[in-house]
Chain A
Amino acid sequence: MAIEVRIPTILRTYTGGAKTVEGAGDTLAALLSDLDSRHGGLRGRLVTEQGGLHRFVNIYVNDEDVRFLGSLDAKLNDGDNVTILPAVAGGAFGFAAAAAMLGRSTAPVR
């Protein structure tokens, strides 16, 4: 068995249009590296240069937000479902100010 990963529309350019792909790994970090070996560039859209998860992408293992499971260290088991969703956010506030206030990376997921 493997781990099924649901890919949002905006990242399907990396998966040849596929809505779901399969991967393997015992942590989220390992899974993303495994996926990147077949879908080059995908990991870079989810993980910052500093090695953390982009703030404005949500990744879930089954029904849990990985932020509550240790982020990239979140443990995975065969048969888990991983869902990636670009966060829906914005507003009138200045972009740099919003990023600073929220302590987020200013590199958005596109």
Chain B
Amino acid sequence: MLSIDRSIIDAIIAHARRDHPDEACGVVAGPLGSDTPVRHIPMDNAARSMTFYEFDSMEHLRVWREMDDRDEEPVVIYHSHTATEAYPSRTDVSFAGEPNAHYLLVSTREPATEEIRSFRIVDGVVTEEPVQIVEPTVDPHAVQSYMFGQSPTTVDYECSPGR
């Protein structure tokens, strides 16, 4: 499962919408071994394409070194699909080179719908995982009602069926 703050998800979706119809890409770094995404780093898509993304090689080096210096690792690697579903393409699977990362996909095909899914990609095998979005702390005394699968501080997105 990927557990991630609402503010980071909002920033990723905003990045993806901003770059639409080109694909957007980036990283969320977190402390080594914590599996907790903390620091959002939007990256340039060097391919500037609607159907392909690639980190700029010099920015990639700079950001990876910076994470190393701060004892961080890439907890989440994200990119957007701008006309298709948020599911890893064969290209995504072939080039997935960080076995410890959560591969987060955002689809911007529907302007009003938030479509995010998360995957592990190890040795060419894709495994979808649930995403738990942690909402900012709310007043526990406020009277509210919650839908099934939600609590005051989290929203759980189950994996989509049929895969």
Contacts and interface: CB of A to CB of B under 8 A. Distances in A.
Contact of B83 (A67, A92, A109): A92
Interface string B6-35: 000000000000000001010000000000
Given A8-B97, A58-B60, A63-B61, A91 B77 contact: no
Given A63-B61, A85-B64, A110-B123, A95 B94 contact: yes
A88 B84 contact: no
Nearest to A65: B57
B52 A98 contact: yes
What class of interface size applies to chain B in its complex with A? Answer: 35 or more
Nearest to B124: A110
Interface string A66-110: 010000000000000001011111111111001001100000111
Contact of B58 (A56, A65, A86, A89): A65
Interface residues of A, number: 27
Interface string A25-43: 0000000000000000000
Contacts of A63: 61
Given A10-B97, A87-B55, 9 more contacts: A60-B61, A85-B60, A87-B95, A88-B43, A88-B60, A89-B54, A89-B95, A92-B51, A93-B49
Interface of A: 8-10, 56, 58, 60, 63, 65, 67, 83, 85-95, 98, 101-102, 108-110
